[in-house]
Amino acid sequence: MRLFFGLIGALLVVSSCNLLRPVGENNKKISSGPKSSSASKTLDKVILKEGTSQDGLFSVHQLGDKYYFGIPDSILEREILVVTRFIKTPAGSKNYGGEEIGEKTIIWEKGPSNNIFLRIATLVSVANENDEISRAVNNSNITPILETFEIKARYEKKKSSLIDVTDFINSENNLLALSSAQKESYKLSSLEKDKSYILGIKSFPINTEVQTVKTYKAKTIKGKTKKVLPAAVLSGVVTLEINNSFILLPKTPMKKRFYDPRVGYFASSYLEYGDEQQRVDRNTYIHRWRLEPRPEDQKKWENGELVEPKKPIIFYLDPATPKKWRPYLIQGINDWQQAFEQAGFKSAIVGREWPKDNDEMSLEDSRFSVLRYFASPFKNAYGPNITDPRSGEILESHIGWYHNLMNLLHNWYMVQAGPVDPRAQKMEFDTDLMGELIRFVASHEVGHTLGLRHNMGASYATPVEKLRDAEWLKENGHTSSIMDYARFNYVAQPQDSIPPKYLMPRIGDYDKWAVQWGYAHISENLDEDSEREILNQWVIDSVGSNPRLWFGGEGRDFDPRSQTEDLGDDAMVASNYGIMNLQRIVPFLTEWTKESNSDDYSGLDEVYQGVIKQYENYLFHVAKNIGGIYVTPKTMGEQGEVYCPVTKQSQKEALAFLNNHIFKEPKWLINNEILNKTFSPQSKESITKTMESIVINLLGGSRMSRMTFIAERYEDEDVYTPEAYLDDLHQLIWGDMNVFYSTTPYRRKLQKAYVANMIALYKPSEAEGVVEGILAKLSEGYTSNTDVRSLALDNLAMLQQKIKGTIPVITHRMTKAHLNYLKKEIEEVIGETKDPGNLYIPANPDLSIEQDKGEE
């Protein structure tokens, strides 16, 4: 048995005065309040005769505007999770009813002087109670007392203490109200107590639900009304409705399943101490639902037979959900049933509509998992999970679904699938198509509520050319996981005749396997080491033989295999196909975006911006290969390297791709028919901004220092050294400068971006512009005391001499002015070099990829 310490909690404290006699029937109303203030009437008699009472986790008693909790002795020292959510929010707040404000674990504790304490509890450290070190853990992890309550009466028959919670619930505290950070985001100051009150309290066997109205005074910000809520501008105050769910956590926590970085689960952890240790252990465990077979099916489940869980996962739809979309959302939930079958459960997860006329259920009640539908202009959805901090058991989830997400889905699908699916070539999709898009997103968000993280590397398991093979897609889908950001199959070409249903993600091999790994049976009798070995072997046996089961992380490292919005195992080839499809749709956007109920071109402008964004995605997918490092977590018993640099050939191909598609002006994207109708000069400027972002990215200090590290670490291998890379980049941007040289406005912007970033690389303090200055500052630490700054200086000196030698023979006026400007910029930083004869002149780069392959 283990003792858990370090619980930081809030406790309510109470003081007793009279013996409380039994109250009336549950929810039996006796009176709206006390009829007499006679001191001879004791509190218990007044509540009995003139109040209302209900039983539950806490017995709740109302007497006029006063509320009392009866705290049973049986829940003292028990962990209780408090989940706080919005019920109603003010206009413009960017939050909606049902969204979580926060969660904390509390403990009620009997205190001295006839009080009850309420503590906030956070699991930090544990120790075996039989080990001496448990004393040290206990001594260094005292939990804070949030509140003290005087016990007003004692009900001995039910062994509970009566406390007055009215003022506490109505107060501004860290448990039941907004945090300081949340108030700051809303520009709120103090709570207006005379405009705040308890809306109602309901109590159930394992939970008590408290609903309040809280009004805050708004801060005054002169001249900045756009940053203040409309209600604050009109009235000076902001009113919210808030729900607090007090949920009793299981007396015996669910058995934990240990975390493995090779499988994508959300996780919690705590420090673990023991007398026999020589270093402190961190116990990390995944988030998952408590799925157990019914007692009569236990043996069947252990033997591999499919059984129904004792308590399935049920998601209810918000009754505010439009009826036409409900079947698709429910199907998106139910799609996960096939994954749980691999773990031995059938009908393990079910989507349902919210029951009608059921007063025992509330959308904010944390016993129920709900997909909340928000009337919002935001284009988003999310799938959180609420867990028992002691075990990782998922207790419930409230999925957030924003109505305008359909607009985002429409634009994604038109831009990515428009060339191959005629249904995508209009502004209002048919119900069936939009329904399938909604179903896909619902499945993705439900995956998060099951404990699964994003797997941005899943799409890498699909060879690019297989994305054009209908039979292969029918069997495997275009990505192995719906938890990837692999939206739609943008690689498929019109001539491939891919059925539209194979353009969308679905529950894949990885998803089924990950659910099996997290939920399949492991004997309760195994010790920790044996269980860890079983889980480890499952990963080795499965992932080692099937790369489609690889968890590639969330795209936060330098691994080009794990990126958002990408497809396939070769970013250069996949992005080339993607650009070919963009080139196909741009000429038709004006026709596709016509709307019968609109006379303007706002739809055209929005979709065109989506095309530019998609094009930008392709470029950055490719750029990540330069200086990239493959990261493959392994245990000691596995073969292969954890870290391995991207091959030199792949990096050179990536640079050649960028030369073809962004160093050279993408004229196909600058469509005057669109620009003249939208009158949006920002559209053309955004292409320039994309180019400048790519140059900043390619010459960033982080990338350059990483390439330097790789070159030093693998000096005996044929790696892409930073000097070779800079030589190749230099030639692509400056190699055509000769006696006949003339530049376009776009080329001049490219070269200015190159010089500005090379200066920032050499001397960060000289970086100009907001963006350049920030990035240079970030790069400064990476490049200090490395060869990167030396290479940057050498490159600038070389370029300076090349410009000086070219200017006298240039006849194109703007080109000459441009080169004189750059020459002056470089001189101001490095001075004027005097010995051009000794400068190193790079050869033409050998970049093996077809030039202009994507142009049509």
pLDDT tens per residue across span 502-535: 999 999 999 999 999 999 999 988 998 999 999 9
Residue 417 in this model has a pLDDT that exceeds 80:
yes
Residue 46 in this model has a pLDDT that exceeds 80:
no
The range of the structural domain enclosing residue 478 comes to 295-385+395-502
Residue 255 in this model has a pLDDT that exceeds 60:
yes
Q: Please tell me the distance from the alpha carbon of residue 174 to that of residue 220, in angstroms, as a whole number.
A: 24
- Per-residue pLDDT, averaged over 317-334, amounts to 97
Least confident interval from 158-162, 257-261, 834-838: 834-838
Residues 160 and 171 in one domain: no
By CB atoms closer than 10 A (0-12, 13-18, 19+), residue 676 is exposed
What pLDDT band is residue 640 in, cutting at 50, 70 and 90? Answer: confident
Is-contact 627 558, C-beta < 8 A?
A: yes
- Per-residue pLDDT, averaged over 3-17, amounts to 33
Least confident interval from 82-86, 368-372, 677-681, 766-770: 766-770
Residues 233 and 212 in one domain: yes
- Per-residue pLDDT, averaged over 297-315, amounts to 95
Residue 781 in this model has a pLDDT that exceeds 80:
no
Residue 301 in this model has a pLDDT that exceeds 90:
yes
What pLDDT band is residue 688 in, cutting at 50, 70 and 90? Answer: very high
**Would residue 444 count as lying in a domain?**
yes
Task: Please write down the long-range contacts of 491-495, taking CB distance under 8 Å and 24 or more positions apart.
Answer: 491/464, 491/467, 491/567, 491/568, 491/574, 491/577, 491/578, 492/417, 492/420, 492/467, 492/468, 493/419, 493/420, 493/468, 493/577, 493/580, 493/581, 494/419, 494/420, 494/584
DSSP character string of 745-779: HHHHHHHHHHHHHHHHHH-GGG--SHHHHHHHHHH
Residue 785 in this model has a pLDDT that exceeds 90:
no
| Residue scoring higher pLDDT (99 or 651) | 651
Backbone angles phi, psi at 396, to 5 degrees: -170, 175
What pLDDT band is residue 129 in, cutting at 50, 70 and 90? Answer: low
- Per-residue pLDDT, averaged over 811-832, amounts to 93
Cβ atoms within 10 A of the Cβ of 20, count?
Answer: 28
Residues 577 and 679 in one domain: yes
Residues 46 and 151 in one domain: yes
Return the pLDDT at 43.
63
pLDDT tens per residue across span 477-488: 999 999 999 999
Residues 121 and 232 in one domain: no
Residues 44 and 135 in one domain: yes
User: Which of 454, 471, 502 finishes a domain?
Assistant: 502
- Per-residue pLDDT, averaged over 613-633, amounts to 96
- Per-residue pLDDT, averaged over 284-297, amounts to 95
Q: Please tell me the distance from the alpha carbon of residue 352 to that of residue 331, in angstroms, as a whole number.
A: 10
| Residue scoring higher pLDDT (781 or 441) | 441
| Residue scoring higher pLDDT (557 or 598) | 557
CATH number assigned to the domain comprising residue 482: 3.40.390
Residue 711 in this model has a pLDDT that exceeds 60:
yes
Residue 819 in this model has a pLDDT that exceeds 50:
yes
Residues 158 and 177 in one domain: no
**Would residue 307 count as lying in a domain?**
yes
Return the pLDDT at 130.
65
What pLDDT band is residue 556 in, cutting at 50, 70 and 90? Answer: confident
Residues 362 and 234 in one domain: no
Q: Is 19 helix (H, G, I), strand (E, B) or coil?
A: strand
Least confident interval from 221-235, 309-323, 383-397, 624-638: 221-235
pTM of whole model > 0.85?
A: yes
pLDDT tens per residue across span 769-779: 545 555 555 55
Least confident interval from 531-545, 576-590, 729-743: 729-743
Q: How many structural domains compose the chain? A: 4
What pLDDT band is residue 12 in, cutting at 50, 70 and 90? Answer: very low
Could you tell me which residues come within 8 angstroms of residue 448 by beta carbon, excluding any fewer than 6 positions away? Answer: 266, 382, 383, 384, 385, 483
Residue 677 in this model has a pLDDT that exceeds 50:
yes
Residues 464 and 492 in one domain: yes
Give residue for tokens 């998803």. 511
Both tokens of 181, joined, read 């950070």
**Would residue 452 count as lying in a domain?**
yes
Residue 387 in this model has a pLDDT that exceeds 50:
yes
DSSP character string of 281-347: EEEEEE-EE---B-GGGHHHHHTT--B-BSS-EEEEEPTTS-GGGHHHHHHHHHTTHHHHHTTTBSS
pLDDT tens per residue across span 55-89: 999 999 999 889 999 999 999 999 999 999 999 98
- The pairing of strands 349-353 and 313-317 is parallel
| Residue scoring higher pLDDT (710 or 221) | 710
Could you tell me which residues come within 8 angstroms of residue 426 by beta carbon, excluding any fewer than 6 positions away? Answer: 592
Residues 687 and 793 in one domain: yes
Q: What is the mean pLDDT of the chain?
A: 86
DSSP character string of 542-556: HHHH-GGG---TTS-
pLDDT tens per residue across span 650-672: 999 999 999 999 999 999 998 88
Which range scores top for mean pLDDT: 592-606, 621-635, 758-772, 781-795? 621-635
Residues 70 and 160 in one domain: yes
- Per-residue pLDDT, averaged over 146-164, amounts to 89
Q: Please tell me the distance from the alpha carbon of residue 184 to that of residue 702, in angstroms, as a whole number.
A: 34
Q: Please tell me the distance from the alpha carbon of residue 1 to that of residue 16, in angstroms, as a whole number.
A: 35
Return the pLDDT at 850.
42
Question: Which alpha helices (DSSP H) does 400-487 contain, by range?
Answer: 405-417, 431-449, 470-476
Backbone φ/ψ region at 54: left (φ over 0), alpha (ψ -120 to 50), beta: beta
Return the pLDDT at 11.
28
Backbone φ/ψ region at 627: left (φ over 0), alpha (ψ -120 to 50), beta: left
**Would residue 772 count as lying in a domain?**
yes
What pLDDT band is residue 41 in, cutting at 50, 70 and 90? Answer: very low
**CA Rg value for the chain:** 32
**Would residue 214 count as lying in a domain?**
yes
Return the pLDDT at 778.
55
Residue 600 in this model has a pLDDT that exceeds 80:
yes
What percent of the chain lies above the pLDDT cut of 90?
65
pLDDT tens per residue across span 431-482: 999 999 999 999 999 999 999 999 999 999 999 999 999 999 999 999 999 9
User: Which of 184, 215, 248 finishes a domain?
Assistant: 248
User: Which of 193, 217, 248 finishes a domain?
Assistant: 248
Q: CB-side exposure of 9: number of CA atoms within 13 Å?
A: 26
**Would residue 265 count as lying in a domain?**
no
**Would residue 614 count as lying in a domain?**
yes
Residues 678 and 706 in one domain: yes
Residue 123 in this model has a pLDDT that exceeds 90:
no
Could you tell me which residues come within 8 angstroms of residue 141 by beta carbon, excluding any fewer than 6 positions away? Answer: 5, 6, 7, 124, 125
**Would residue 746 count as lying in a domain?**
yes
Residue 558 in this model has a pLDDT that exceeds 80:
yes
